[in-house]
């Protein structure tokens, strides 16, 4: 009974825990904190909220996800993509007197985190985890590259020790930078360049080293030891117990559509990125993936972030990779990270005031550069040029029109891409070679499988948008066949459903095939498709002996009836 109760109250991410994992989890958690703390402060600068808000994102939200979520490894906290989306969204609210890094700005960030958590809760109730799949890899590659460009743009002034141009367009920020090069502080440049070079070299040759925390600690020591007052530092980091506040109800009501839009954009990014992160790392370890339970965990994490002075949190692929490299096994490592961060907030925050702004900018600069995966763009170009174009357009939309517009564009492009594949799927006439193997030829008039036989394969479900093209293809094949068509065999192995429009069109097509003296034959009908065809009364128009388990058996039947050569196509791997 006690064992049953213990299993019931143990978080999903911790079930089956072995005591031998404890040491590895604790060490991995401390190592993860060394990387996550500087990055979280950097993400605060991207979101333009007080730096302490980024640290808070690694404490309660991480623990809440560990208790509620299902993923054993996924690290939850502040993230560059959602931070950039949040900053552009709050700036777009158009609230008078609202400035970055102020309590009012953080209040709106907390509200958006709360609404994001509520939307994720609704997504969990409706089991909408599949929505994350609507952002293709190509679109996500382009989106993250655009975010990377924006992040890099924001951090270059910090690397040079000059003022940032708040509120300007990306081109305006670069123009402002060029016109203020005389204000460059070379002490800051030295700190920034050394940090960037060190981070890239260590990532290249010794990735197991927690270099972000090493450069942070080293820079603080140098500033304090040599009293480098000419180097701009981040100043006091507000820690202690967080102050929770939200905008006035009247202001929220007036900006409700904008808040919902920004929150929905955050939800899309969270769903896509977190689902991909949880799946990839779970599959590499043979663990079970429960995307919908992770959505519940992310919902709770975002609500807790809003109630503990932080902002939108997300599953982080980079920090999860660090945890995996450090041999972490479960969410206990993330709880260790959270407790380590809490210790830093409680006891070391006065030291953080001496951190050079250039060092923090350099840490975030490297994160931004790593979001631009040129290798992924090359792979997409090599495999599918159309998707490369989609990735480039998405990047351009993010850079040119902002993160929120970019994520909406990404979603629309992903949907259009999917619709296009369904509207113009591959269509083949399955021919038979001299050796009896199948030959897939483009479905063009003049092609036939055998004299008097056309085997037509359509690689998509039939619905109102594509059934017209389907009917036109079949009609053209029948009319353009070199020999009078006796059998028209429809290979249904890739068709699982038909809607009302498609059913009506198929009925008309059957009538046309019969009118030219040919038989309309089905091969490879799945149980789901048969149910749809029965409901539409299509099966009653086709003789039961003209429905075959697979293409091979249909071709053999045709040859037996019409005395064709005995060779048959290779049908290995298909139903007969």
Specify the higher pLDDT residue, 457 or 173: 457
Looking at residue 8, what is its pLDDT? Answer: 47
Return the structure tokens found at 446: 């003049």
- With cut-offs at 50, 70 and 90, classify the pLDDT of residue 571: very low
Distances from the Cα of 366 to the Cα of 148, 192, 361, 362, 546, angstroms: 9, 11, 9, 6, 64
Q: What SS3 class is residue 314?
A: strand
| pLDDT tens track for 71-87 | 988 999 999 889 989 99
Whether the CB-CB separation of 529 and 498 falls below 8 Å is answered with yes
Q: Residue 5 pLDDT more than 70? A: no
Whether the CB-CB separation of 513 and 519 falls below 8 Å is answered with yes
Return the structure tokens found at 44: 């605060």
Looking at residue 166, what is its pLDDT? Answer: 64
Looking at residue 194, what is its pLDDT? Answer: 93
Looking at residue 303, what is its pLDDT? Answer: 97
Q: Residue 217 pLDDT more than 60? A: yes
The rounded mean pLDDT for the chain is 86
CA geometry: angle 327, 332, 50, nearest 5 deg: 100
Return the structure tokens found at 234: 């981040």
Specify the higher pLDDT residue, 544 or 108: 108
Looking at residue 310, what is its pLDDT? Answer: 95
Please give the helix or strand (H or E) that residue 112 lies within, else none. helix 103-125
Return the structure tokens found at 556: 């053999």
Specify the higher pLDDT residue, 217 or 434: 217
* Residue 168 CB partners (closer than 8 Å, separation 6+): 176
Q: How far apart are CA 258 and CA 253, in angstroms?
A: 10
Q: Where are the alpha helices (DSSP H) in 126-238?
A: 137-160, 170-179, 186-205, 211-226
| pLDDT tens track for 398-409 | 888 887 787 778
Q: Residue 477 pLDDT more than 90? A: yes
Specify the higher pLDDT residue, 78 or 179: 78
- With cut-offs at 50, 70 and 90, classify the pLDDT of residue 433: low
Q: Residue 299 pLDDT more than 50? A: yes
Looking at residue 47, what is its pLDDT? Answer: 92
Percent of the chain with pLDDT over 70: 93
Q: How far apart are CA 391 and CA 145, in angstroms?
A: 9
Specify the higher pLDDT residue, 196 or 6: 196
Percent of the chain with pLDDT over 90: 37
- With cut-offs at 50, 70 and 90, classify the pLDDT of residue 570: very low
Residue 560, Cβ density class (10 Å: 0-12 exposed, 13-18 middle, ≥19 buried):
exposed
Return the structure tokens found at 107: 């209040």
Q: What is the mean pLDDT of residues 475-498?
A: 92
Q: What SS3 class is residue 455?
A: strand
Range with the poorest average pLDDT among 141-150, 295-304, 513-522:
141-150
Residue 559, Cβ density class (10 Å: 0-12 exposed, 13-18 middle, ≥19 buried):
middle
Half-sphere exposure of 138 (CA within 13 A, CB side): 23
* Residue 413 CB partners (closer than 8 Å, separation 6+): 139, 390, 393, 394
Phi-psi region of 136 (alpha: psi -120 to 50; beta: other; left: phi over 0): beta
Range with the poorest average pLDDT among 39-53, 121-135, 310-324, 337-351:
121-135
Q: What is the mean pLDDT of residues 305-309?
A: 95
Whether the CB-CB separation of 360 and 217 falls below 8 Å is answered with no
Q: Residue 282 pLDDT more than 60? A: yes
Q: Residue 416 pLDDT more than 90? A: no
Cβ atoms < 10 Å from Cβ of 178: 8
- With cut-offs at 50, 70 and 90, classify the pLDDT of residue 263: very high
Looking at residue 301, what is its pLDDT? Answer: 97
Looking at residue 132, what is its pLDDT? Answer: 65
Looking at residue 1, what is its pLDDT? Answer: 42
- With cut-offs at 50, 70 and 90, classify the pLDDT of residue 239: confident
Return the structure tokens found at 105: 């700005």
Q: Residue 176 pLDDT more than 80? A: yes
Q: How far apart are CA 370 and CA 363, in angstroms?
A: 11
- With cut-offs at 50, 70 and 90, classify the pLDDT of residue 266: very high
- With cut-offs at 50, 70 and 90, classify the pLDDT of residue 572: very low
Looking at residue 453, what is its pLDDT? Answer: 93
- With cut-offs at 50, 70 and 90, classify the pLDDT of residue 10: low
Looking at residue 573, what is its pLDDT? Answer: 37
- Residue with the two structure tokens 């994160």: 367
Please indicate, yes or no, whether the overall pTM of this predicted structure exceeds 0.85: no
């Amino acid at each position: 009974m006690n064992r049953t109760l213990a299993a019931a109250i143990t978080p999903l991410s911790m079930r089956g825990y072995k005591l031998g994992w404890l040491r590895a989890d604790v060490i991995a958690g401390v190592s993860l904190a060394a990387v996550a703390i500087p990055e979280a402060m950097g993400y605060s600068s991207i979101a333009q909220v007080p730096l302490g808000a980024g640290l808070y994102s690694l404490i309660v939200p991480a623990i809440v996800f560990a208790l509620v979520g299902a993923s054993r490894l996924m690290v939850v906290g502040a993230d560059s993509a959602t931070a950039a989306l949040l900053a552009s969204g709050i700036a777009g609210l158009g609230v008078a007197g609202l400035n970055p890094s102020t309590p009012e700005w953080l209040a709106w960030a907390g509200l958006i985190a709360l609404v994001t958590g509520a939307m994720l809760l609704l997504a969990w109730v409706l089991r909408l985890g599949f929505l994350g799949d609507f952002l293709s890899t190509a679109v996500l590659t382009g989106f993250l590259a655009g975010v990377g460009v924006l992040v890099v743009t924001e951090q270059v002034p910090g690397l040079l020790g000059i003022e940032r141009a708040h509120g300007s367009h990306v081109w305006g920020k670069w123009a402002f930078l060029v016109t203020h090069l005389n204000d460059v502080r070379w002490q800051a440049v030295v700190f920034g360049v050394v940090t960037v070079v060190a981070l890239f070299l260590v990532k290249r040759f010794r990735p197991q080293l927690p270099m972000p925390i090493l450069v942070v600690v080293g820079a603080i020591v140098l500033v304090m030891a040599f009293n480098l007052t000419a180097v701009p530092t981040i100043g006091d980091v507000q820690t202690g117990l967080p102050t929770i506040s939200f905008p006035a109800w009247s202001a929220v009501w007036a900006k409700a559509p904008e808040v919902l839009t920004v929150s929905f954009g955050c939800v899309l990014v969270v769903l896509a990125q977190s689902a991909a992160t949880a799946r990839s790392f779970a599959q590499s370890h043979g663990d079970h993936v429960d995307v919908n339970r992770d959505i519940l965990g992310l919902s709770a994490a975002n609500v807790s972030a809003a109630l503990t002075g932080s902002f939108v949190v997300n599953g982080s692929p980079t920090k999860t990779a660090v945890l995996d490299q450090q041999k972490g096994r479960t969410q206990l490592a993330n709880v260790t990270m959270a407790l380590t961060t809490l210790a830093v907030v409680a006891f070391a925050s006065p030291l953080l005031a001496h951190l050079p702004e250039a060092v923090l900018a350099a840490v975030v600069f490297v994160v931004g550069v790593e979001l631009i995966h040129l290798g992924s763009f090359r792979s997409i170009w090599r495999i599918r040029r159309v998707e490369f174009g989609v990735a480039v357009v998405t990047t351009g939309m993010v850079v040119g029109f902002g993160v929120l517009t970019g994520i909406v564009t990404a979603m629309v492009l992903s949907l259009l891409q999917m619709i296009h594949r369904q509207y113009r799927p591959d269509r083949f006439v399955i021919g038979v070679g001299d050796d009896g193997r199948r030959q897939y030829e483009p479905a063009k008039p003049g092609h036939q499988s055998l004299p008097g036989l056309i085997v037509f394969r359509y690689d998509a479900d039939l619905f109102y948008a594509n059934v017209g093209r389907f009917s036109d293809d079949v009609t053209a094949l029948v009319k353009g066949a070199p020999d009078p068509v006796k059998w028209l065999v429809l290979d249904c192995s890739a068709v699982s459903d038909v809607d009302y429009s498609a059913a009506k069109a198929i009925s008309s097509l059957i009538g046309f095939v019969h009118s030219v003296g040919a038989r309309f034959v089905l091969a490879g009908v799945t149980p789901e498709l048969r149910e749809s065809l029965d409901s539409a009364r299509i099966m009653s128009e086709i003789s039961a002996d003209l429905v075959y388990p697979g293409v091979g058996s249909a071709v053999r039947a045709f040859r037996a009836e019409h005395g064709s050569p005995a060779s048959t196509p290779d049908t290995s791997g298909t139903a007969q």
